[in-house]
Amino acid sequence: MSQLCAGRIVVVTGAGRGIGREHALSLARHGAFVVVNDLGGNVDGSGGDLSPAQQVVNEIEAFGGKAVANGDDISTWAGAEALINTAVNVFGDLHAVVNNAGILRDRMLANMTEEEWDAVIKVHLKGTFGPSHFAAAYWRDQQKAGKPVDGRIINTTSVSGIYGNPGQTNYGAAKAGIASFTVIAALELARYGVTANAVAPVALTRMTEGLGPAPETEADRDMRSPKWIAPIVTWLASAESKHVTGRVFEASGQTLAIAEGWHRGPRCAPVADPTQLGAIVDELLAGARANAGMDGEDGHWPQNAK
């Protein structure tokens, strides 16, 4: 098997378990030197333990790969900077950052607490911003110094964010923000030789095992395995993907797809009198596509009709 990422130095956050672990193992099998970052906390973000990250490093080293464990808290400014510095100091460079770390604090909007909102936004949204910021600054400086740059930012969004899921206003808002962050970062970083893309995974992991019915068969379990997410992330981290940027991919054991972002739909001339808008809005709605459901398809969102 050819090694897509031979010699590339890649940071993966939240890589101690689940989807992030599969990313780290796949990248290492394809020749990448991997910084395995994981705070080792619980699903809600509490606690901390470096051993999950170290176990992934041990697995990588067992098949001849190179990796180092890192327990920095990427939701903090200092932790994000220390993580990027680890890649540069240990392996001598940086080629890709996979922002994968996340937590859940699901609650219906009327019951959600400020702390539940802040915790999820901090880990997902700020935890994507911080490592991306320090990586971008590193690549900018490399480019200005005349050194070749072929950088990648690969973010983790979610169908809960781009399509919507009840009970996850905090998580969905963070993930939708990550999708927009990705598009804007792609526009900004192209001048430095850096791409930015996002992946919306669907898989059965420690974070998602309580959100739906348990798999009934081995085939179902295999289809929901996080192993199906790693191939697109590995390819996006490689030199082959330099022509792809600003895109959101859906990945699961059922599909690999590109999620198409907001586009302007039915339109009319501006209206000065709000009393005239009822019939006009109804006409616009009649010609508009319904919002997609969690499967990304039309027909699952209640129509706005009288």
Here the CATH number for the domain that contains residue 112 is 3.40.50.720
Q: Report the pLDDT value the prediction gives residue 286, as an integer from 0 to 100.
A: 93
pLDDT digits (tens, 9 = 90+) for 145-181: 999 999 999 999 999 999 999 999 999 999 999 999 9
Gap between the Cα atoms of 83 and 147, Å rounded: 22
Would residue 1 count as lying in a domain?
no
Residues 146 and 280 in one domain: no
Residues 197 and 292 in one domain: no
Residues 224 and 297 in one domain: no
Beta-carbon count within 10 A of 186 CB: 19
Over residues 64-88, mean pLDDT = 98
Q: One-letter amino acid identity for 14?
A: G
- For residue 144, what are the CA distances in angstroms to 70, 94, 129? 29, 16, 22
Residues 138 and 276 in one domain: no
- Rg over alpha carbons for the chain, rounded to the nearest Å, is 20
* Residue-wise DSSP of 143-205: HHTT----EEEEEE--HIIIII-TTBHHHHHHHHHHHHHHHHHHHHHGGGTEEEEEEEE----
Boundary (domain end) residue, out of 220, 239, 259: 259
Gap between the Cα atoms of 300 and 286, Å rounded: 16
Gap between the Cα atoms of 64 and 6, Å rounded: 13
Q: Report the pLDDT value the prediction gives residue 203, as an integer from 0 to 100.
A: 66
Over residues 64-93, mean pLDDT = 98
Over residues 206-224, mean pLDDT = 60
- For residue 267, what are the CA distances in angstroms to 77, 264, 281, 282, 301? 43, 8, 9, 12, 21
Q: Report the pLDDT value the prediction gives residue 2, as an integer from 0 to 100.
A: 77
Q: Report the pLDDT value the prediction gives residue 295, as an integer from 0 to 100.
A: 87
Domain that holds residue 198: 9-259
Beta-carbon count within 10 A of 135 CB: 26
**158 a catalytic residue:** yes
Q: Report the pLDDT value the prediction gives residue 56, as an integer from 0 to 100.
A: 98
Residues 234 and 165 in one domain: yes
Mean pLDDT is lowest, of 175-179, 226-230, 300-304, for: 300-304
**171 a catalytic residue:** yes
Would residue 15 count as lying in a domain?
yes
Q: Report the pLDDT value the prediction gives residue 212, as an integer from 0 to 100.
A: 56
Strand order in the sheet with 256-259: 66-70, 33-37, 9-12, 96-99, 151-156, 194-201, 248-251, 256-259
Number of domains in the chain: 2
- The first and second tokens of residue 194, run together, are 């850096």
Contact predicate 102/123, CB 8 Å? yes
Query: Quick one: pLDDT band at residue 26, thresholds 50, 70, 90?
Result: very high
Q: Report the pLDDT value the prediction gives residue 113, as an integer from 0 to 100.
A: 98
Q: Number of C-alpha atoms within 13 angstroms, CB side, residue 73?
A: 14
Q: Report the pLDDT value the prediction gives residue 294, as an integer from 0 to 100.
A: 86
Active-site residue, selected from the candidate residues 132, 138, 160, 175: 175
User: Percentage of the chain with pLDDT > 90?
Assistant: 81
SS3 of residue 66 by DSSP: strand
pLDDT digits (tens, 9 = 90+) for 82-108: 999 999 999 999 999 999 999 999 999
Query: Quick one: pLDDT band at residue 49, thresholds 50, 70, 90?
Result: confident
What pTM was estimated for this model as a whole?
0.91
* Structure letter (DSSP) for residue 126: I
Residues 131 and 226 in one domain: yes
pLDDT at 208 over 70: no
Residues 227 and 99 in one domain: yes
Q: Report the pLDDT value the prediction gives residue 71, as an integer from 0 to 100.
A: 97
Q: Report the pLDDT value the prediction gives residue 213, as an integer from 0 to 100.
A: 57
Active-site residue, selected from the candidate residues 158, 160, 225, 241: 158
- Average pLDDT of the chain to the nearest whole number: 92
- Dihedral sign, CA of 242, 243, 249, 253? negative
Boundary (domain end) residue, out of 239, 259, 279: 259
pLDDT at 205 over 60: no
pLDDT at 255 over 70: yes
Would residue 214 count as lying in a domain?
yes
Over residues 8-32, mean pLDDT = 97
Residues 277 and 242 in one domain: no
pLDDT at 42 over 70: no
Active-site residue, selected from the candidate residues 75, 171, 225, 238: 171
Between 190 and 203, the more confident residue is 190
Q: Report the pLDDT value the prediction gives residue 243, as an integer from 0 to 100.
A: 98
Would residue 103 count as lying in a domain?
yes
Residues 255 and 295 in one domain: no
- 195: nearest Cα among 144, 147, 233: 233
* Residue-wise DSSP of 244-260: --S-EEEESSS-EEEEP
Residues 274 and 186 in one domain: no
- The first and second tokens of residue 69, run together, are 């464990």
Please write down the long-range contacts of 258-267, taking CB distance under 8 Å and 24 or more positions apart: 259/162, 259/179, 259/200, 259/296, 261/179, 261/183, 265/289
